[in-house]
Chains A and B, each alone.
Chain A
Amino acid sequence: MTATGAARATQLVVATRSVPPRRRQTRRDRLLAFCLVAPTAVFLAAVIGYPVLRAVWRSLFSDPITGPARFVGLDNYTRALVDSGPDSADFRAAFQFTVFFAAVTLLLEVLLGLAMALIMNRAFRGRGLLRTSVLIPWGIPTAVTALLWAWMLQPDGIINSVLGLDTIWTGSEWPAKWALVIAETWKNAPFVALLLLAGLQVIPAELYDVAKADGAGLLARFRYITLPMLRPALLVVVVFRMLDALRVYDLPQILTGGANNTTTLSMLVVDASIHQTNYGYGSALSTLTFLLIFAVAFLFIRTFGMNVVQSLRQGVQE
């Protein structure tokens, strides 16, 4: 279990430090602790807790043109999830595309990022230059990335001329989807590479030496040393990128404007609450998006986080 694993680790750390004998907490101590924590707690409640709760509360009300909003219970949620109107069709389409986008970009970014990290981890002349230049796409603001790719993907743009194609990238469904996947991967693979490179650098070289002496080939060393040792870094990367991809807004908004079935959940939220001024329905959509992302993150950490701790413990025991 994660909890016990973490607890053990904490105990281990605590045990190695010199802990002063535990004193009984006095009333004054508790007051002091409370006063020290209070400003942060109030601040967090104001900037995180309040908006989230406010959105949930607002999602239970109607969106009249004039006059006060009426309490409608879960109507806004059934409108997005159950009703047979265009709204639920839009929500379903946005949900499907968002999940597709997150899954495909994640896979490509991890594969590409891993390859880049492995290359950058080797010692060769100009390594510093390579490491810096690889990061450039990640340093470019997303809005600029989107415009850059929009220009390159124009029907008479550089991509078509170099590849000898006459694809109209933003003019039909699958080219538009792939255009987004390519732009997103181009921008974020360096970030993945950077984090994985950090993970690679803490793997002790002795492990490889020993494996080599035992006759392990390149693939075997990768499979049995690199991958398991890289697991904690991979987990962080995957969680970060997945959450980012699930709430993506700026790139598709600028590159395709949501046309050709490339509307993401976040775009739907902005459209409902800002453009159509339907704050109730928009809040319901944003709550649903929040729940989706929360659930994915939770499940992911529950499933894989546990394995990370387990593999670490196994590593220690072996």
Chain B
Amino acid sequence: MRHPVSIVAALAVLTITATSCTGPTPNDGSGRGPITFVRGKDISGKSPPMLDRWNRFHPDERVTLVELPEKADDQRSQLVQYAQARSDRFDVLALDVVWTAEFAARQWIVPLDGAGINTSRLLRSAADTGVYQGHRYAVPSNTNAAFLYYRKDLVPIPPKTWKELIDDCAIARRHNIGCYAGQYAQYEGLTVNVSEAVHSAGGEIVGNDGKDVLVDSAEARSGLGFLVDGFRLGYIPPEAITYKEEESRRAFQQGRLLFLRNWPYVYGRASEPGSDSVVQGRFGVAPIPGEKGIGKSTLGGANLAVSEFSRHQKTAVDFIKYLTGDWAQRYMLREMSVAPTLAALYDDPELRQQRPYLLMLKQALRDAQPRPATPYYNEVTLAIQRAAYRALQGQETVDAAVREMADRLRRAGS
């Protein structure tokens, strides 16, 4: 034999392959016991007391927290790797609303239809993001919708329509500052902004099933056109093409913008004493404007789901009920500044006093629209981002961009 070495190597390779292909033994998953809750990085750092409270009441079913990186893409790829390995490491998963369909379609999370979770007390729009093909796979623990931040020292009444907003831009010109901006760099935030503009003009990107491509419409053209014209006519400053959430927040806080589309977190940051904000006490929040009236925000937030590979699924379901229950939801709003999904909290007078924007957030959430619910979300969002970005840069007409978007969306997942 000329190459005994290669045979040994081949054998070693075979052994490695064989062992890596046998996962853990399947389980019926109905048990109770300690569980692990995995979520993105908790920036507020306030989740431990919430988990401690659960642990006090459930000494035999204690929960351990695992925090993944802050960036959504990194969280997702880690969760995917564990799921691919059919690992029972995690029991309760916090998923971005847009991943829910994919995890459900891949059967990495279990249907919760018969688990006795009452979702009627939750905000309707948020609750719907946990449903895939008619079955409930996840329960939203927190949600999100966009606001229009405006300089109330310069604009007495916030605009309700795009036309009013564009008219108000004369004020920005007089003060030599930019007029309006959202997030237009090529990343997930662009999908959020474009889908918001399309919905606010009465259009849709895909149908409710996540499959029918509806973007090739006059309404969608008008929505994307509002953003494209912004860059073309200058009511959106040119540097906004590089804005993500933080860049746009800084521009507004430093007094360089009259109007800003952003999430509720900006409210706290821009009013914080000692921050680099020059607009403290000089800005207000309003619902985002639309084509013919108040616009429709894109829905954000996180969904809780039970891993298919969890061995303590009964405990996991109970823990989800706990996190979406009254005490935890109230705690999340008060201590962690996230928007709860429990509808009743938005009408709570005490909480309204603490968070003056709560009523407006409730209205925004009622009208908010989800991004496409599809297992191929990554391809879909890339299709939207690329076509829209080229149109915003003026490299492509709105019409061509919408047609390209529709074409790419139809091919996604084929």
Contact = CB atoms under 8 A, between A and B. Distances in A.
A171 B9 contact: no
Contacts of A168: 238-239, 241-242
Given A41-B9, A42-B8, A276 B379 contact: yes
A94 B379 CA distance: 17
Contacts of A34: 4-5
Nearest to A41: B5
A275 B186 contact: no
Given A168-B242, A171-B239, A277-B80, A259 B105 contact: no
Interface residues of B, number: 38
Interface string B88-123: 000000000000001001110000000000000000
Interface in A49-71: 49-50, 53-54, 65-66
B257 to A, nearest CB: 13
B287 to A, nearest CB: 29
A170 B187 CA distance: 13
B106 A86 contact: no
Contacts of B76: 275
Nearest to B108: A66
Contacts of A271: 378, 382
A266 to B, nearest CB: 15
A41 B8 contact: yes
Interface string B357-385: 00000000000000000011011001100
Contacts, number: 84
Interface string B175-190: 0000000000111000
A46 interface: yes
B352 interface: no
B13 interface: yes
B77 interface: yes
A155 interface: yes
B18 interface: no
Interface residues of A, number: 32
B73 interface: yes
A257 interface: yes
Given A257-B186, A275-B73, A276-B378, A45 B13 contact: yes
Given A50-B13, A66-B106, A86-B408, A171 B5 contact: no
Interface string A30-55: 00001001100110111001100110
Given A41-B5, A65-B375, 5 more contacts: A42-B9, A42-B12, A168-B241, A170-B185, A171-B242
Interface of B: 4-6, 8-10, 12-13, 16-17, 73, 76-77, 80, 84, 102, 105-107, 185-187, 238-239, 241-242, 247, 375-376, 378-379, 382-383, 389, 393, 407-408, 411
Q: Which 3 A-B pairs have the closest CB atoms?
A: A259-B186, A45-B9, A155-B239
